[in-house]
Amino acid sequence: MLELLKAAVRNGYADGWPEEEGEDFLAVVRGADFLLKGAVWGAIRELEKVKHWHAAAFELLQEFVPEDLLVNAAAELYHHSFFPGSHLLFVLGALLGPVADDVQEYFFKAREFFTRVVGLRYEERFREAALLAPGMPVVLVREPENKVDPSAVAVLSPWGTCLGYLRAPLASVISSRCEDGETFFACVAAILGAEYDPNERLHLKVRSGPPEGKIIMLKFLETANGAMEGLASPGLS
């Protein structure tokens, strides 16, 4: 974050920020830094802290954060089952302008995006997640025989243990795209600290298409509980 903060100050953003809103300035910089690292929900939580949005905040995000990452963050909010009506979604909509029209269909079309893993509240999953590092591959596995959600997509560590799941709305989209012949690969984008909600700590970079490195698991896996259709995962580049 320090380099981004220096760049923002160097470009004059701190000068144009009201002194009494210094915490807002830092929250925007932290949010931008999280987005650049792929920690979408870390960014969302920081940007939620901003009390006064004005032109300088918009300009800072537009200068330092690629537009697609801003759309990605807005799509995470839009498709979040338990987070309706977030004021931040309206802020991002204003920031994106006409491009905001892409938010609703983002996950249906994006070739690459960032998201989080849910279900990390269990202690054994925390221990497994602690062994990961940014850039490490993980395996996405469809569970068509899952009685709770046939569209569920599990996230497995490189050594095959379950870390959690993709959120249900996103898993449904991924499953639908797989039915159309796509294959998805994923790696760890960022891991946030213990001060964050367990379901917002592990972030993935997910991409459709050929892997960037060698495939470490086959596309189809068989388990004792029945067939589990794997989406595969790339090895480290």
Walk me through the domains of the chain, giving residue ranges and CATH numbers.
2-107 (no CATH), 111-232 (3.30.70.2330)
Alpha helix ranges (H) inside the chain: 2-10, 22-37, 40-48, 55-64, 67-78, 87-96, 106-109, 123-129, 168-179
Q: Are 71 and 46 in contact (CB under 8 A)?
A: no
How many angstroms separate the CA atoms of 93 and 221, rounded? 41
List pLDDT tens digits, range 93-106: 999 999 999 999 99
Q: Is 168 exposed, middle or buried (0-12, 13-18, 19+ CB in 10 A)?
A: middle
pLDDT for 211 beyond 70 = no
Q: Is 80 exceeded by the pLDDT of residue 75? A: yes
pLDDT for 3: 93
39 and 189 Cβ atoms separated by less than 8 Å: yes
The predicted pLDDT at position 8 comes to 87
Cβ(170)–Cβ(149) below 8 Å: no
Given pLDDT bands bounded at 50, 70 and 90, which one contains residue 63? very high
* 120 confidence band (pLDDT: 50, 70, 90): confident
User: What is the model's pLDDT at position 83?
Assistant: 53
The span from the CA of 38 to the CA of 141, in Å, is: 21
Q: Is the pLDDT of residue 231 over 60?
A: no
Does the structure show a pLDDT above 90 at 127?
Answer: no
Query: How confident is the model at residue 224, as a pLDDT?
Result: 36
Pick the residue with more confidence: 219 or 198? 198
Q: Would you say residue 233 has pLDDT above 90?
A: no
The C-alpha atoms of residue 19 and residue 56 are separated, in whole angstroms, by 13
